[in-house]
Amino acid sequence: MSSITKVKSGYQVRVRRKNYPTQVKNFQYRSDAKSWAEATERAIATGTLSVAEGTLGNLLERYRSEVTPSKRSSDIEALRIEKLKRSWISEIPLVELKSFHIAKYRDERLKEVQGNATTRDLSLISDAINKAIKEWNIRLIENPVSLVNKPPSNRARDRRLEDDEEERLLRSCSQSKNPYLLPLVMVAIETAMRRGELLGLERQHLKVNNRTAYLPMTKNGDSRKVPLSTRAIATLNDLPVHISGKVFPLSETALRGLWGRACRRAGISDLHLHDLRHEATTRLFELGLNIMEVSAITGHKDLKMLKRYTHLKAEDLALKLG
């Protein structure tokens, strides 16, 4: 049976049926509420209403199977889902999952990792629930993640290679059993390319004569050409051709492990692979390139992201004005 109740925002419908979770939805107009109630009752009667069965963990497993493989960072997302499935929150039935569960998970996670990592977990849960509601015909009243405040973003890291760290890092990378780690790190320092861009780089997109590498798809959705220094060209020329066509035939998971071991061998702490992008970007400014030139190389769409790399002096600006 269904009931329609007048509420502040309009009308609230409740459809109750034995062996089905109560279906609730709000509408501005009573006519819309009545139509939805009738349609929902028909769907229940004919067995075409798909309810949220199983746990959050079951949903995440389906998401990993059907959605994750199409993503560029599929192996990293698959690992994140595995970690989520080991958490208590994955055992909660979808029909019982509430915002206070999400908030509790957020607060516990923040004790272990920083805000950005926690936000990625919440976004993954939210994406899976939205997919279920919009495309898998799974009826949920709402997405509980949308009701919870996201944690604040991390402060931008400004970690640079210090003293002899670059020499120690490269020496350690050269000791790796994987022949692609050292050249990847060297090219990262020379080009400021992101990890995903390096791993997605294909040999057919290297234009050695023009000293450029073409990236057909980047993090911000645009393509770009990256200029290659003499050192980068020499490094790339020395690489053997892999049957896959990839310049660096490594998975993100494998690279993460190789990087961690290299840093430990070198005795270097608190250095992320992404810090090499910061290092390379800083060096571009130190070479005298302006902010527009640097953004063309690094692919930063928001110039505000680059402002922390440069400090304009009034005296220098006066000289440019003439």
CB-CB contact of 133 with 144 (8 Å):
no
| Residue 300 known to be catalytic | yes
| Residue 168 known to be catalytic | no
Identify the CA nearest to 260 among candidates 250, 251, 247, 273: 273
Catalytic residue among 6, 159, 274, 308: 274
3-state SS, residue 105: helix
Identify the CA nearest to 52 among candidates 102, 98, 93: 93
Catalytic residue among 11, 105, 180, 309: 309
| Residue 101 known to be catalytic | no
Burial of 153 (0-12, 13-18, 19+ CB in 10 A): exposed
Catalytic residue among 131, 150, 160, 219: 219
| Residue 256 known to be catalytic | no
3-state SS, residue 79: helix
Residue 44: which residues within 8 A CB-CB, separation 6 or more?
15, 17, 20
Catalytic residue among 104, 131, 265, 300: 300
Question: Would you mind telling me the total number of residues written for the chain in this entry?
Answer: 322
Burial of 130 (0-12, 13-18, 19+ CB in 10 A): middle
| Residue 155 known to be catalytic | no
Catalytic residue among 80, 139, 224, 277: 277
- List, as one string, the DSSP characters of 201-241: -BGGGEETTTTEEEESS-TTS--EEEE--HHHHHHHHTSPP
Burial of 227 (0-12, 13-18, 19+ CB in 10 A): middle
| Residue 242 known to be catalytic | no
Phi, psi at 229, each rounded to 5°: -75, 170
Six token digits for residue 236: 């790339």
Residue 156: which residues within 8 A CB-CB, separation 6 or more?
308
3-state SS, residue 23: strand
Catalytic residue among 64, 194, 195, 278: 194
Residues labelled as active-site residues: 194, 219, 274, 277, 300, 309
